[in-house]
Amino acid sequence: MYSRILLTVDLNEEASWKKALPTAVEYAKVFGADLHVA
């Protein structure tokens, strides 16, 4: 379903990525997708 996932984060705001990052990693594993963090 997904081949590339882009997760944008603000490293100064932990709340912007704390929950999203593990979810994005799991999606990337399940779909065999590339995960790009910007």
Query: What tens digit of pLDDT does each residue of 2-34 get?
Result: 999 999 999 999 998 999 999 999 999 999 999
* pLDDT for res 16: 84
What do you get for the CA distance between the two ends of the chain, in Å?
Answer: 21
Kindly give, in sequence order, each residue whose CB lies less than 8 Å from that of residue 19, ignoring residues fewer than 6 positions away.
none
Q: Which amino acid is residue 14, in one-letter code?
A: E
In three-state secondary structure terms, 11 is coil
Token pair 């593990």 is at which residue?
A: 22
- pLDDT computed for residue 24 by the predictor: 97
Q: Whole-angstrom Cα distance, residue 37 to residue 27?
A: 13
